């Protein structure tokens, strides 16, 4: 049997370059070697945005467009909508017994996110326990590999613990997943901050028009210690060069820019212009594919429904095994 990939995203808005480097690139690269399922995690999106369910449908569609735009092949990859696979909720409930409150409270990503969000009425149980539902996402597909950004590592670790516990308590039904990180653990934001994040306003989105990308690039943070273009500059930790390293296929140009930057013989403006042109070369085909699919909404909906139907069939078959292992496959019923 072909090995499986499962990964996914919360549909909270369009995807950006950070998503690409962290995970989308690996998905595209591995889609022909693995049986690939990509989950649009709309239930997880609700855990901190349940007051605004009306945005979800449009966001699910946008995320699917981003997937198709970056080159995920709809003949190959199954795009699955989380809320349309109710078996996920059932498995989450069973998993709840296998995780302690103390373990959830220690999850570093959830802790960070709670700080960022400043929940006015306290942390909803749904948000705080989403690592359990994410473990169900991964394991219901018996995924071996989970391409994700660095911030998701605690979720994969949680899933592994649950699998070990389930398999030793009941029967060896579930597969222990492995995380796979992108070519860079984390892409910095255009402000030089640790990561690209919608809430920080430091993103370049995959669907951004060229003018928006140009503005973002030209206002990027560079080397704060460099005042004049003739000052020797720092390349390491300079987000403009980090982006060059990732997105500029012309390595000779990048090496030349770095050398001149260190010597103080090239200005920020030239380095940024060249970055814009590299990024534009990278984003243009993505933008075109996005527009093609966006013009065929019925086809995109078809792709989502087809992927979800196939994903649900896998989930149902795993749940038959899970219920049998848990002695819940009663003779009456
Ligand atoms: N938590 C992930 C994010 O915020 C989204 C997600 C939901 C996910 N379920 C998943 C990622 C399963 C990998 C595997 O981006």
Q: What is the pLDDT of residues 19-39, one digit of tens each?
A: 999 999 999 999 999 999 999
Q: What is the pLDDT of residue 82?
A: 98
134 lines ligand 1 (CB under 6 A): yes
Please work out, in degrees rounded to the nearest 5, the angle formed at the alpha carbon of residue 100 by the alpha carbons of 39 and 311.
Answer: 20
Which residues, 6 or more positions from 304, have their beta carbon under 8 angstroms from its beta carbon?
A: 40, 60, 61, 64, 79, 81
* Listed residue (75, 73, 63, 69) closest to 30, CA to CA: 73
Q: Are residues 146 and 245 in the same domain?
A: no
**195: in domain:** no
* Listed residue (300, 301, 81, 45) closest to 198, CA to CA: 45
**256: in domain:** yes
Atom of ligand 1 nearest to the CA of 133: 9
Which residues, 6 or more positions from 295, have their beta carbon under 8 angstroms from its beta carbon?
A: none
Residue nearest atom 8 in ligand 1 by C-alpha distance = 8
Dump strand ranges (E) for 139-277.
145-147, 178-180
Q: Are residues 67 and 169 in the same domain?
A: yes
Range(s) of the domain holding residue 100: 4-188+297-325
42 lines ligand 1 (CB under 6 A): no
How far is ligand 1, taken at its centre, from the CA of residue 38, in Å? 9
Q: Are residues 87 and 8 in the same domain?
A: yes
Name which of 55-64, 88-97, 135-144, 198-207 the model is least confident about.
Answer: 198-207
Q: Are residues 152 and 267 in the same domain?
A: no
Angle between helices 153-169 and 108-117 (to 10 degrees): 130
Q: Are residues 156 and 69 in the same domain?
A: yes
Q: Are residues 31 and 119 in the same domain?
A: yes
pLDDT in tens, 316-330: 999 999 999 999 999
Number of domains in the chain: 2
**179: in domain:** yes
146 lines ligand 1 (CB under 6 A): yes
Which residues, 6 or more positions from 188, have their beta carbon under 8 angstroms from its beta carbon?
A: 194, 195, 196, 239, 242
CATH number at residue 235: 1.10.240.10
Atom of ligand 1 nearest to the CA of 149: 15
Using the predicted structure, report yes or no on whether residue 333 has a pLDDT greater than 80. Answer: no
Three-class HEC string of 46-78? HCCCCCCHHHHHHHHHHHHHHHHHHCCCCCCCE
Q: What is the pLDDT of residue 185?
A: 77
Our mutation pick for probing the ligand 1 site, out of 45, 152, 180, counting the most ligand atoms within 8 A of Cβ, is: 152
Q: What is the pLDDT of residue 118?
A: 86
Our mutation pick for probing the ligand 1 site, out of 6, 9, 135, counting the most ligand atoms within 8 A of Cβ, is: 9
pLDDT band at 172 (very low <50, low <70, confident <90, very high): very high
Indicate whether this model's pTM tops 0.75.
Answer: yes
The residue whose two tokens read 């169900």 is: 136
**135: in domain:** yes
């Amino acid at each position: 049997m072909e090995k499986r990939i499962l990964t996914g995203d919360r549909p909270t808005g369009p995807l950006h370059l950070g998503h690409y480097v962290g995970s989308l690139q690996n998905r595209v690269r591995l889609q022909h070697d693995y049986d690939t399922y990509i989950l649009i995690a709309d239930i997880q999106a609700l855990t901190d945005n349940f007051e605004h369910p009306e945005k979800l449908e449009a966001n699910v569609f946008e995320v699917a467009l981003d997937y198709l735009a970056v080159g995920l092949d709809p003949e190959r990859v199954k795009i699955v909508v989380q809320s349309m696979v109710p078996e996920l909720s059932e498995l989450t409930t069973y998993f709840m017994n296998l995780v302690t409150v103390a373990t959830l409270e220690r999850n570093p990503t959830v802790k960070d996110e709670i700080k960022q969000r400043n929940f006015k009425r306290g942390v909803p149980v749904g948000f705080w326990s989403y690592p359990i539902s994410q473990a169900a996402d991964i394991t219901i597909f018996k995924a071996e590999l989970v391409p994700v950004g660095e911030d998701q590592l605690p979720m994969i670790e949680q899933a592994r613990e649950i699998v070990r516990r389930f398999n030793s308590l009941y029967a060896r039904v579930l597969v222990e997943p492995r995380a796979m990180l992108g070519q860079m653990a984390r892409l910095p934001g255009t402000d030089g901050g640790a990561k690209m994040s919608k809430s920080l306003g430091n993103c370049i989105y995959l669907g951004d028009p060229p003018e928006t990308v140009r503005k973002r690039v030209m206002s990027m943070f560079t080397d704060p210690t460099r005042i004049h273009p003739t000052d020797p500059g720092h390349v390491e930790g300079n987000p403009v060069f980090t982006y060059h390293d990732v997105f500029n296929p012309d390595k000779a140009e990048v090496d030349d820019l770095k050398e001149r930057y260190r010597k103080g013989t090239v200005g920020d403006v030239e380095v940024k212009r060249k970055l814009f042109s590299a990024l534009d070369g990278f984003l243009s085909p993505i933008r075109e594919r996005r527009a093609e699919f966006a013009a065929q909404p019925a086809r995109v909906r078809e792709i989502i429904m087809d992927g979800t139907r196939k994903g649900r069939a896998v989930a149902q078959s795993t749940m038959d095994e899970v219920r049998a292992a848990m002695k819940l496959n009663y003779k009456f019923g």
